[in-house]
Chains A and B, each alone.
Chain A
Amino acid sequence: MSEAFTREDLLRRAVAGGALLSVPGLLAACGGSSKSAATTTTTVSTTLPQTIVWSNWPLYIDVKGKRHPSLDQFQAHYGVKVRYIEDINDNDSFFGKIEGPLSQGQSTGRDLIVLTDTSGLPGRMIELGWLEKLDKSAIPNIKNLQPIQQHPNWDPNREYSLPWQSGMTGIGYDPKLVGGDIDTLHQLLTDPKLKGKVTMLTEMADSMGVTMLANGDNPTKVTNATFDRAINTLQAAVNSGQIRQFTGNDYAPLLAKGDIYACLAWSGDMVQLQADHPGLKWVLPKDGGMLWTDNMLIPKGGHTYGASVLMNWYYSPTIAAEVADYVNYITPVVGADKVLLKSDPAIAKNPLIFPTEEMLANLHQFDISAVNNVKYKKQFQALIGG
Chain B
Amino acid sequence: MKIAITSTGNSLGSNLDQRFGRCSYFVIYDTETGGTEFLPNPNKDALEGAGPSSVQLVASRNVQKIISGEFGIKIKSLLDTLKIQMIALKDADKKIEEIIEMLNN
Partners in one complex: no
Interface set of A (CB-CB < 8 Å, partner B): none
